[in-house]
Amino acid sequence: MNDEGKRLDGKVAAEEVVAKVKAETEKLTAESGITPGLAVIIVGEDPASQVYVASKGRKAKECGFHSVQITLSADTPEAEVLGHVQSLNDDPSVHGILVQLPLPGHIDENKVIQTISPDKDVDGFHYINVGKLGTGDLSNAFVPCTPAGSMILLRKALGDDLSGLNAVVIGRSNIVGKPMANLLLAANATVTIAHSRTKNLQDIASQADILVAAVGRPEMVKEDWVKPGATVIDVGINRVDAPERGEGKTRLTGDVDYEGALENAAHATPVPGGVGPMTIALLMANTLTAASRVAGRELPKF
């Protein structure tokens, strides 16, 4: 189907964000002598995590940042990971710290996250930043990158004020579902959080003017789940078999049947090329924000 006019293009929007980060970074460095620094810690050899971390490093360099990657083996003791986080907390050349999740089972993920200085928590996972978002103190928070990027795409479709609109978020994770619900609420939407234990999920979804799918179930949201005229944001990234491409081949797909959803939706994000590129762009934006705060400068708006 030709999705022209309905597709919320994350590649284009992410390029716009990154162009602004680059321009603002040049100004920051020229006027205050500060170069934003992003440190990423990866523990173990998960192939998907390795790909994500490598692309974060590349994008950071493209933005003119100081980029650090700390690569640790899967059997690294928790205390050693915490020690690296502490060193980065104390390092003035690093403004943003990201520990790639998931971590190996013997490491307490929450303990690691809560050890990151809230001022360098560019993932927005520390209790302090979760609390700022939850109380609507958005300008002082770090907002998690995937929901923040999703909101930019949503604003392109619907503008800044979502008053009177029903938003349904399917998924209640700390990384996406909960922060997304808080952002929608801050933009005046009427918000329902649904999840795997929700009864009549389809009924609830089909009342949404804004439908956000973040459950990790390939193409769960079908055409008849989508209210006519709705805006659909697909946060899912699922790798599925694609025998039509040849033996053993796979493809990426979202939590939404995109073609089906477009029969009803006014706007929808594709996978790939929707929310995915926004996540990394917003990580760059958050790192610039962290450095701008240290420099005592006005914060760029994204």
Candidates 98-106, 194-202, 224-232, 267-275: pick the segment binding ligand GUN (CB under 6 A). 98-106
Residue 290 contacts residue 142 (beta carbons within 8 Å) = yes
Residue 123 touching ligand GUN (CB under 6 A): yes
- Nearest Cα to 118, choosing from 140, 145, 100? 140
Residue 204 touching ligand GUN (CB under 6 A): no
In the region spanning residues 100 to 119, those forming contacts with ligand GUN, defined by CB under 6 A, are 100-101
Candidates 56-64, 97-105, 189-197, 237-245: pick the segment binding ligand GUN (CB under 6 A). 97-105
Residue 234 touching ligand GUN (CB under 6 A): no
The residues annotated with a catalytic role in the active site are 56, 100, 123
Question: In angstroms, rounded to a whole number, what is the distance separating the alpha carbons of residues 108 and 216?
Answer: 23
Nearest-approach distance from CB 261 to ligand GUN, in angstroms:
23
Residue 145 touching ligand GUN (CB under 6 A): yes
Residue 281 touching ligand GUN (CB under 6 A): no
Strands (DSSP E) contained in the chain are: 37-43, 66-72, 96-99, 166-170, 190-194, 210-213, 231-234, 238-241, 250-253, 267-268
Nearest-approach distance from CB 218 to ligand GUN, in angstroms:
17
Q: Residue 232: which residues within 8 A CB-CB, separation 6 or more?
A: 211, 213, 221, 226, 256, 261, 265, 267, 268, 269
Q: Which residues bind ligand GUN (CB under 6 A)?
A: 98-101, 123, 145-146, 175
